[in-house]
Structure 1
């Protein structure tokens, strides 16, 4: 990783022939080759998209074109038009069906400059068992060069699609965005409300279609929100905000799900919930497979303990339940009883959980897996559950299993079933759950079944989760529009002070044996996050294994996802150094993962996976700066090579932070190399970083605000240096300029770093002392490294804590510089 000075550039831009070349007469071959572009090349009324290519040579060899040598396609120079925005959606998208009605929703403040419309389509009511349908043409968006969509690539999951010029969707889409040649972004969001499912699709001519499915007996409306803005992020956020209004209008009486358990305290429950998803989880799925029994579980946990892997949670995945049709495929088997299977768990579920807690005091939470209808094949028609609750034979539309009908608990008994089941789990020592196969609700084919079960099952599950498990639940295979747009998930601002965020899986599974799946897994989660970042959820990027060709790749992605970290290692195959990069120890001995406060999401949505470039995932850590009113925090940027060859890119840091607006200088640190580049700011022009990554290569770049310590020195608080997302350990920073000191509150122990600029040669870094919770840190736990651009102070907080024998308390580090 290296920073590049714009003053070192000796390049010329020639837009007329659309070729950007090094000046042949340049004699300085050691200079960094960057491109200087002036907006003067695009006066008002000119063409705003210019293609260019490059040629290069090494020493005295012949000039070569990059396309011929490396297969690189033409680059683009794009200028935004400053002309007034259109008020008419038809001017943005010619060919709109006149049967569609449009309202101009609003214009956001001028600094964001987003125009929002609502598009309505009449959808006839259902005639049971057939839903009502309607398809209308939106048209072809005017003058776009790139498009991005999030499509339902299976019934259970959404995934990104990208292309240029003509848009062709291979599946129904929830989000479509178009980068226009004038630099503006048009985002369309299909909003599902109550019983009307809305999606977007295309025909063979590349024309956008608006499709509605109505399960209600009454006529309804499909709704699409469109937003036109200067950036994708602004337009996307405006569309989501407007969609919230649509949902509120459609449901005047909104359900409120409290996470408060019976007789419990709301604040205590919230802390327990955070302690659950901030703890390292071990899952049995890939590790132990479907032939599950209590002996395998006990062995796996013993081996983890022997290898020094401290987990907080264990999730007992599929195949612990009592099922019929032993030996048949999972899709043919039905749920018979709440209790665990007698064959695999002779001591019952309560016996297993009691033994786990006795043998492993570090395990605070035990969870189990179940399907939305109990199991993949529903409930067994002749099982105990079928005798206790009313059942119904339902037909479903085709998904990845061929079974077209199965037995389920009737919608009218769903609430009582979940109440009884989760009460049984609670009494058996289980305090968390993974609710899977929730997509099956949208696979129901009959409109009356869909109308009766989708909302009832969702509300029943949420109520039981809140009452018995304090919302320690994972919603999996649940990326269906009816759940994504449900009030509990869609409203990021909770409808009640008691409502907590829901953990939701945001992509298909981790498949350890499928080589191409690993790059796609990261790419898919990062792009799905542009939608899910606006929801009331914590994203779950799924489990992974720490001894795998892509283990570091997956670990880095989980560390910046903003979600939980779950491993599924085969017993005895554990990468302890990698695990230590994901978790940090707390004073009481438990471990904690360091989640950024703002979840990671892709910052280049129009770059396709097949282009094999870098996938850049930006997260953010909010930091309190004491009495200083500083609008800053720490950006954490994961960079992942999506190609199979070594690749080099210049990263424009303005994509991750708005330097000019904030007026703050930053220090940038690479986690992989430990190199620090500083200062970086828009004002100095040093806003590009060169990064080279090989196959399976990744890095995490963290941008820390440089805080003024006194008249000449600046300081950056780096957090925990040994953890991938170590900046997320920092809670608050207080710079005491009068004392030339900095005080930091952090979440966990580890190697704590401070970077100081402006120190004079030979000047001692610590003029006073470094303290930990008021106690002086012994010299053996302090280390100063002289870098070319500053000094790095490293404090071993974990070693100092043990030597000082400090009690469990809030960790506060103070250093006088």
Structure 2
């Protein structure tokens, strides 16, 4: 059942259709029928292809049902991978809306969505569908196991199919995980949790960047000059990433699509005294910098290694063909990958480097031959993971690694400390139409990546920019690191003060919520003009603090009636106050008295965003006070910071002769509390 709203601002004014005034689509009435839940997948996909075998599994996510679909794919032949397309069926026969995460090129994921017609413009790794009874059906294509790559495609008959690739010289199983439930986040959790258990069985085993700020002709002098300007501007950074173009690369190899790495040492034109000398100068002149990272590609450089360089002479090399360019590339062979990384990272450690940003990991998915993909894909992913952990601990950033084999094989298992991983395509400061989409894509990608063993990195941003506050708010809510890539001398110090905080020891820290930020409604259409809502949470269990950022997706200024129950982790038995960051306004106490509880009007600021924080109130009877009734109190954390609630490490409220609020904070700032009664 569809509906729209007609309203008028006053009795004497004309009626207005909301869909015509604001360009929004019709709403849907969902008639939830719990009795309609089926334990048979054939009832949910009546036209399910007979090529699939169905198995039921115990779901680890509450209130969900889980199945797997399996079929076979033939072997690779004569070093050429085999490909197969297998029809699945039409979810619910008729669905109301759908959401998918597709491969936006080789390295990245991006969201897609629609209504009753599923039309995927790119191959998808995850698809979810909702029907008119409030049910969700989630599909996850398994990759990264047994040399299989599997992705979803839409068909002309409004069904979905699986497109698969087998690099193994033997027949392999294809698998699709399917779950259903009345809450889409639980249904997604069900398939991801089961995928993790399968991968485990098979495998067993603050900040600044230099790319946008200093450009491609990177030199020691440019780095030192930029750091000097930052310091003169009063900006203290704790982490520095020396980005692309510090390495010694072969630009003369005309047969390669991209340059290859010659040797470990930095290029002599930009770093005449070597990497170690540059790092020493940085540490000597900028004492606040605690960690220095350097960039490198997983395979050495964008084009692997140079066949004419010292690396090719020191390690066993192999020559491979690339599918994307049709050119050849030289790589360190499987037998010497571990030695290559150990030697490279030992050199970096001796040079004073603390960590690495390992980019272009998706190049593994450009290899053409089945044998090369088989021998090198998981080998590079595994051996990089081991070497980075051995030499740098958690100081490693995984980039351009959202290709299916890496997502499942390397990033899903929880067998090492979480690695920081880029969560979307790059930040493009000079592309006006990209900024809202960048935040949108990151929030929707996080619907899946929240379950990976990663700290999500939403990429750098510039503090002097039309969308600076917009990006800063999104980064604070993301639960990941905050990096800036400012042009030297162009810094917004006041914005940085709202994003970071100083400890009592003078160290600059970011205030990161405990739970990563995600899009609260994955089905919402980007072009609808509706507000993007990003939900996060700080703390654990009851007593935690819920955050919701609302972001404009167009130039039109809109508001949204928002239910308290939309905040993540809210208890229906507690009372809350909600504070808006930009205005400082605090709501009256909100409590669930009927149905879905109270609501508030969410309105972005002139910068296109607002951050709302819901604090649970501690309530006391006031019989010892001058008047009868109830007193409610909450600690708000640092109210001058975007996510100042994340400064709270512990908080306790008690009442004796007086009310005492005790909060342990991780940094300095303006402390706030709320009281009522």
Q: TM-score range by the shorter chain?
A: over 0.9
In structure 1, the residue matched to 2:50 is 98
Q: Which residue of 2 aligns with 1:751?
A: 670
* Matched residue, 1:191: 142
Q: 2:164 aligns with which of 212, 233, 250?
A: 212
Please give the secondary structure, in 1, of the residue aligned with 2:312.
helix
* CA distance in structure 2 between the partners assigned to 1:128 and 1:579 by the alignment: 57
For 1:312 and 1:55, the matched residues in 2 are separated by: 53
Matches within 5 A, 1:449-488: 449-486=372-409, 488=410
Residue number among 318, 339, 344 corresponding to 2:244 in the alignment = 318
Is the aligned partner of 1:667 residue 2:577?
Answer: yes
What TM-score, normalized to structure 2? 0.95
In the alignment, does 2:265 pair up with 1:343? no
SS of the residue corresponding to residue 198 of structure 1 reads strand
Q: Could you tell me which residue of structure 1 aligns to residue 411 of structure 2?
A: 489
1:178 positional shift: 0.5
Asked whether 1:86 is paired with 2:38, we answer: yes
- In our comparison, the structure showing a higher alpha carbon Rg is 1
Aligned 8 A contact 1:56 1:66 in 2: no
Matched residues in 1 for 2:496 and 2:429: separation?
18
CA distance in 1, matches of 2:556, 2:613: 25
Matched residue, 1:572:
489
TM-superposed deviation, 1:69: 3.2
1:367 touches 1:433 (CA, 8 Å); kept in 2? yes
Asked if 1:144 is matched to 2:95, the reply is yes
* 1:635-678 deviation digits (Å, cap 9, x = unpaired): 0111100012111221122111465x540111100001000002
In structure 1, how many angstroms separate the alpha carbons of the residues matched to 2:663 and 2:6? 48
Alignment of 1:731 onto 2:649: yes
Kept in 2, the 8 Å contact 1:643–1:695? The answer is no
- The structure 2 residue matched to 1:426, chosen from 345, 349, 353, is 349
Alpha-carbon distance, 1:88 to partner? 1.5
2:603/2:610 contact within 8 Å kept: no
Contact 2:4–2:19, Cα closer than 8 Å, also in 1 = no
Q: Distance in 2 between matches of 1:678 and 1:413?
A: 64
Q: Could you tell me whether the CA contact under 8 Å between 1:225 and 1:239 is conserved in 2?
A: yes
**Structure 2: where are the runs of 5+ without partners?**
623-629
Structure 1 699/329 Cα, relative in aligned 2: closer, same or farther at 3 Å?
farther
Verify the 8 A CA contact 2:565 2:597 in the aligned structure 1. no
**Partners of 2:130 and 2:68 in 1: how far apart?**
20
Query: 1:368-408 CA deviation, whole Å, 9 max, x = no partner?
Result: 1011111111111111111111222211222xxx4632211
1:644 aligns with 2:555: yes
Whether the aligned pair in 1 keeps the contact of 2:24 and 2:530 (CA below 8 Å) is no
Higher alpha-carbon deviation: 119-128 or 66-75? 66-75
The CA deviation at 1:198 is 1.7
Structure 2 CA distance for aligned equivalents of residues 281 and 233 of structure 1:
32
Aligned twin of 1:719: 637
| Contact 1:545–1:551 (Cα < 8 Å) also in 2 | yes
Query: Could you say what secondary structure the match of 2:417 adopts?
Result: coil
Shift of 1:324: 1.5
Q: Secondary structure at the match of 1:350?
A: helix
Tell whether the 8 Å contact from 2:60 to 2:194 is kept in structure 1 after alignment: no
SS in 2 for 1:674: coil
Contact 1:442 1:450 in 2 (8 A): yes
Aligned-partner SS, 1:677: coil
Cα distance change of structure 1 residues 403 and 357 upon mapping to structure 2, 3 Å threshold? farther
Q: Is the Cα contact below 8 Å between 2:576 and 2:615 reproduced in 1?
A: yes
Q: Contact (CA 8 Å) 2:46, 2:90: kept in 1 or not?
A: yes
Counterpart Cα distance in 1 of 2:247 and 2:445? 32
Q: Which moved more, 1:239-248 or 1:150-159?
A: 239-248
Residues 602/330 of structure 1: CA separation in 2 closer, same or farther (3 Å cut): farther
Q: Which runs of 5+ in 1 are unaligned?
A: 1-48, 256-279, 624-629, 759-817
Question: Displacement, 1:128?
Answer: 4.0
CA offsets per residue over residues 686-714 of structure 1, 9 Å max, x none? 62211333675101000010012454211
Find the residue that maps to 2:282 and give its secondary structure: helix
CA gap 1:450/1:566 in 2 versus in 1, 3 angstroms: same
Partner of 2:587: 677
User: Is residue 2:467 matched to residue 1:583?
Assistant: no
CA spacing shift, 1:301–1:329, aligned 2, 3 Å: farther
Greater mean alpha carbon deviation, residues 191-200 or residues 308-317:
191-200
- 1:375, 1:247 → 2: CA distance? 29
RMSD across aligned positions (CA): 1.9
Q: Which stretch shows the higher mean deviation, 58-67 or 197-206?
A: 58-67
Report how many aligned residue pairs link the two structures: 666
Q: String of CA shifts for 1:430-478, please: whole Å, max 9, x gaps.
A: 1111000000011111110011101111111111111111131100000
Equivalent residue, structure 2, for 1:247 = 199
| TM-score, reference length from structure 1 | 0.79
